[in-house]
Amino acid sequence: MDAIEYIKDIVQNFVNIVQSINFFDILDILILTFLVYYLIKLLRETRAMQLLKGIFFIIVIFILVQIFNLRAMSFLLDNFLQVGIIAIMIVFQPELRRILEKVGGTKVATFAQSVEKNAGNTSVREKAILGIADACARLHDSKTGALIVIERETKLGDIIEKETTSVINAECEPELFCNIFYNKAPLHDGAVIIRDNRIYAAGCFLPNTQKDQYLTTELGSRHRAAVGMSENSDALVIVVSEETGTISVALDGQLSRDQTREGLITILRKYMPGTSSEKKKKPRKTKQQGGNKQ
């Protein structure tokens, strides 16, 4: 009987809450929902989305600590949260500034846009993989330096939105890669970013590696930028050496060199996003050889 009475009380309280809702309450909920959705959509374009997942995890831990009354953990979390917000604002100041600038410069019509289209079309993904592999093979034969970043879970909006970047949004055609990285082309010094199986942007400048002192002096600026980008995100980065034509792949801060066209296709099929069965196995590291500057 007690259980039945308890359920009746819950149902009655729910009915009372629903009956007390008025038009302004509904409007308030809709506005809040829209603002949260738009904030998440903006954060998805930057590395701050990974931070948001971490914050959510900390909140869950904090709730569990309060439920089970864990004193030591509660003390640590209380002190962490006191300075955590300020630390987040300092560390992610560039991302927060870009978000505010984007909100201020967004037209009203932009707010009504639907969720971005799904990039899971297998045929498009396979075409992009072959286009990238063919382009790298041609650049290898002509010894043309190249730097190609394949965006995965971590969005690279903070890299794309710089003033030196040019948004292209074109299919992954080998001829286009060769034109971009031609040594007299205006965008050849920067990196190309692949998003949704398309060449999204070119002329992008990447963060430098944090372990520069541990890399061999034979590696040039492109290789160091590739390692740095793979340290700062989960992106897959392909480098073609300008001096030797060697094809290298950077992932999770590790550089795998001396790749062939077929080996590159295998790696791209494992890592390039677009299917739910994407594997997480790292490419096999090969012995580093000299003479690969930039």
| Structural domain spans, the chain | 2-112, 122-271
Evaluate if residue 266 carries a pLDDT over 90.
yes
Distance, CA of 21 to CA of 85 (rounded, Å): 33
pTM value is 0.60
Q: Which fold has domain 122-271?
A: YojJ-like (1 (3.40.1700)
- Residue 79 pLDDT: 78
Distances (CA, A) of 70 to 55, 74, 81, 175: 20, 6, 16, 61
Rg value, the chain, Cα? 24
Evaluate if residue 285 carries a pLDDT over 80.
no
What average pLDDT does the segment 199-220 reach? Answer: 81
Mode of pairing for the β-strands spanning 191-195 and 236-240 = unpaired
What is the per-residue pLDDT across 133-174, written as a single tens digit (0 to 9) for each?
999 999 999 999 999 999 988 888 888 877 778 999 999 999
Q: Could you give phi then psi for residue 147, rounded to 5 degrees?
A: -145, 110
What is the per-residue pLDDT across 189-206, written as a single tens digit (0 to 9) for each?
899 999 999 999 999 998
- Residue 108 pLDDT: 41
What is the per-residue pLDDT across 51-90, written as a single tens digit (0 to 9) for each?
667 777 888 888 888 888 888 888 888 777 777 777 767 7
